[in-house]
A and B are shown apart, each in its own frame.
Chain A
Amino acid sequence: MYDLRVVVEEVRGFCDLPMRPGDYFEVKGGRIIIPDGKHICMWALAAMLPMFPAKQRKIAETNDWLPSTQHMCCPDPNGMVIYRIERIPVGDSVSPACADQGINPKEDKPFPRMLVNEKVCSGCRSCELACSFHKTGMFSETESRVRVSKDEPNGLDRPLVCRQCGNARCVQACPVGALERHPETHAVQLKPEICQGCGACAEACPFGSIHFKDGKPLICDLCGGDPKCVDRCATGALRFGRAGEAPLKGGARAAMK
């Protein structure tokens, strides 16, 4: 019987818990061993749980697909945390405690980001106007970082906003390093002088949130941590903060109080 080590290999979207690349836990027999001070995602755990007994067994069957199956994805379509399940020899122990890795759990919170509740989006597109107005002083959909996608016959409205992915693919995709994280807000920023306008970031974005204007991508910088689109959202479909907590900015009506 194998023991298992389950390692976060990649965060393709944004994980709120957060899980970060390199985080791991171990499965020993019927026990789950979590390094001191660390945590695991219950949803990912639930999704992966049926795989653990199968991976633990020493079975060699013709056409067995188990040995070559190493990667699992958590069920959150916005999170897309990729886990790698490794078989390890029996008896090996967990790695040293978190303290040795310089992680303080209390301070280890995700940065605030745009939170979207599509169910209450009224489709008014005020967020597009607020964004372009703040950035340029004009009202222009083509200058807006946020776009509302509509399906009128079915009454669906979906604001497409930058999710500020924890492991941002746009940053990775940029061949010249024109995208970087803001040190304080952690928002993705563009260095326009370096950008060559190749479009790799837009292609890499899984949420369709990057638009181009005059050959350069419109990158949401969260208005320096004070997003103006949220200020104009009448229904609170757009908020700014951490998932699971009271939002830092909760829409136009909340701002009035």
Chain B
Amino acid sequence: MTCGYGGRVLRVNLTTGKFTVEPLEQDLARGYLGGRGFNMRRLYDEISPQLDGLSPENKLFIGVGPLVGTMFPGAARFNISAKSPQTGILGDSNAGGFFAPEIKFAGYDQIIIEGKAPKPVYLFIHNDTVALKPAEHLWGLDIWQTQAAILNELGDPRVQVAAIGTAAENGVRFAGVFTNLVRAAARTGMGTVMGAKNLKAIAVRGTNPVQVADPDEFDRLLKDIDRAIYEHREYPARALMGTTKLVHALNEAGCLATRHFQTGRFHKAEEVSGEALAETYKLKSKSCFACTIPCSRFFAVTDGPFAGLKSEGPEFEGLAGFSSRVGVTDLAAALKAVDLCNRYGLDVISTSEVISFAMELYEKGIISRSEADGLDLSWGNVDTVLTLINKINTREGFGNILADGVRAAARLIGRGSEELALHVKGLELFQADPRGLKAYALGFAVASRGGDHLRSEPSFEFSEDAAAGERLYGHPDAAFRLKYKGKGRVVKHYEEWSALSDCLEACKNTIVNMEIIDFRLAAQLMRAVAGWDIDGDEVQAICERVVNLERAFNVREGLSRQDDTLPKRFTHEPLPADSGPSAGSVVELEPMLDEYYQARGWDINTGRPTGTKLRQLGLTKEADELEERGLING
């Protein structure tokens, strides 16, 4: 047991039933910080190139960070990583709640899961005691039923459960891992990997203390951090609505994904906004572990056809995904759709994309009603949305086609539908239109796990602070969302900042979007928590190392500049006139890519890191291997 870390890595082999505990190497902790950093290091080292994401040789890595289990606000997160069965490249996902702290209290920094169980099992970790328990009676249960059954079986309400639902069991490619019922690590199909391994759930109970090296200094830093959070201009809106405040905000900006990104404004946005949810169904605010911003909401629907529905959430991604994206104008119906995804264990972004994709194909006459099991795929048809979620979950009929993701579905359907599949590298895009958000557009294109908003989240481009743009990113246009210059440097910086958040395993909303923690303060925190002699530049270098390591993994899988792209809708079709301030916008991607690769020190032609760059970051082994394979230049 060391300060800030449990000091141990648990390795579980599902095939043999063997458990080993490895010490956490100081090099790993010092070089990669935690969570995502730990997972990416293992991913590169232990996953061989071109491995099938559903094979037993694929491994699941679950990492927590040095702040987890402490009083740091929002230090409640874990990353879960593997080769993605959905995209075929790096797979990684992240969630909050109470599961990650429990791993830390059990004394572990990482859990590695190998092999495949002959029959359904769940993993139970109680401090030093590890057991694989039979889960045949749990197979076929949804997320909520699984958690209830395991808690009942173990008899301790403080056990934390991460589970898969029926979607993962059925091999839906975008199935997630869910904790605390609704906290989803849902992107890139990490739940699908669990399902392929016959691993129904991971239950953890930890009663060990988490120690910090300098409690007084840590307490002092925390008081300043808490004050900065409470006094932040965004605090009231975040506490009231969380991320659902984005529905209204993006609609005003004209870049809310509407009817499969055909336009940027949804005429009924106010009725399905975070404000509407707070005014109607919200009962109270909820928090992740130790967080000072209670940004989640518990709601109950009391009237209409969905009366009796009660749950926690949703996030912006689910709310907008099942309202504006698919044309649904009924708030309760959108909540019901999200609830179904939470119970089945589905990624709400991918699910809403495959459904809205189908709706657009139907609208354009590319598919007929008979091809869609007789369903009326008109925009806003609530029954159809709910039916398709059920069909995707059970891989039934048309749902079976959609269950492999939008890229695979488009390949199967053909007839020009590939251009309407809104994904990057196989990962479906989230509900903010990149045509109105140039830095986000670049972030989507280059993100290491595919079409992803969470690898960078470059919110600086909303600031309209030209002086700061010039000072920080070399050009005043960096501060404006419809401008291009400086965006490569913005995305580079925010990628590293997001990596910081994912390695410390604290909340990105706080660290990045609210700008509470920078690299210098992160270094102070690590001095107080782990007792290291470290400064902000070194912390930033660690984050840059993680980003480059991920790129190296994907390069080894064959990726290059030509994969850093966006769907034609965003590069060739201007936002229509009804999109307000974003009307007429498209994304000119190539100049931003040039700037980004240049800022990163990568080869501009191939979009791959140079050997020089990798060695500079301490990734010598990777540089040697990729050079040897002829994938990169010196």
Contacts and interface: CB of A to CB of B under 8 A. Distances in A.
Interface stretch (A7-15, A75-83, A99-107, A125-133): A125-133
Contact of A124 (B144, B148, B288): B288
Contact of B70 (A139, A141, A157, A252): A139
B57 interface: no
Contact of A140 (B144, B147, B208, B219): B208
Contacts of B211: 137-139
Interface in B72-119: 73, 98, 105
Nearest to A124: B287
B230 A253 contact: yes
Interface in A132-169: 132-133, 136-143, 149-150, 152-155, 157
Contacts of A31: none
Contacts of B226: 252, 256
A155 B144 contact: no
Given A143-B209, A235-B285, A124 B219 contact: no
Interface string B195-236: 000000000000111111001000100000011001100000
B67 to A, nearest CB: 10
State which size class the interface on B falls in: 35 or more
A209 interface: no
A126 B292 contact: yes
A253 to B, nearest CB: 5
Contacts of B521: none
Given A123-B286, A152-B180, A256-B230, A141 B291 contact: no
A120 B209 contact: no
Given A138-B210, A142-B207, A232-B71, A119 B230 contact: no
B289 A124 contact: yes
Contacts of A124: 287-292, 294
A141 B98 CA distance: 13
A48 interface: no
Given A140-B209, A155-B312, A232-B71, A133 B292 contact: no
Interface string A106-126: 000000000000011011111
Contacts of B289: 124-125
State which size class the interface on A falls in: 20 to 34
B292 A119 contact: no
Contacts of A137: 211, 215
Contact of B291 (A152, A234, A256): A234
Given A155-B312, A234-B291, A256-B231, A122 B284 contact: yes
B290 A122 contact: no
B71 A129 contact: yes
A21 B157 CA distance: 38
A123 B230 CA distance: 18
A126 B70 CA distance: 9
Contacts of A130: 71
Interface in A149-204: 149-150, 152-155, 157
A133 B312 contact: no
B287 A234 contact: yes
Contact of A136 (B71, B98, B209, B290): B209
Contacts of B208: 140
Contact of A234 (B70, B148, B215, B294): B294
Contact of A155 (B73, B98, B230, B283): B283
Contact of A139 (B69, B73, B144, B286): B69
B71 A152 contact: no
A122 B219 contact: no
Nearest to B296: A122
Contacts of B294: 122, 124, 234-235
10 nearest interchain CB pairs? A155-B298, A124-B287, A140-B209, A122-B294, A122-B287, A138-B209, A137-B215, A139-B210, A234-B292, A129-B71
19 contacts: A119-B284, A120-B285, A122-B294, A124-B291, A126-B71, A126-B73, A129-B71, A137-B211, A137-B215, A138-B210, A139-B209, A143-B209, A152-B181, A153-B148, A155-B284, A157-B286, A234-B294, A252-B226, A252-B230
Given A120-B284, A149-B157, 17 more contacts: A122-B284, A122-B291, A122-B294, A123-B287, A124-B294, A125-B290, A126-B291, A133-B71, A133-B219, A140-B209, A141-B207, A142-B207, A152-B180, A153-B148, A235-B294, A253-B230, A256-B226
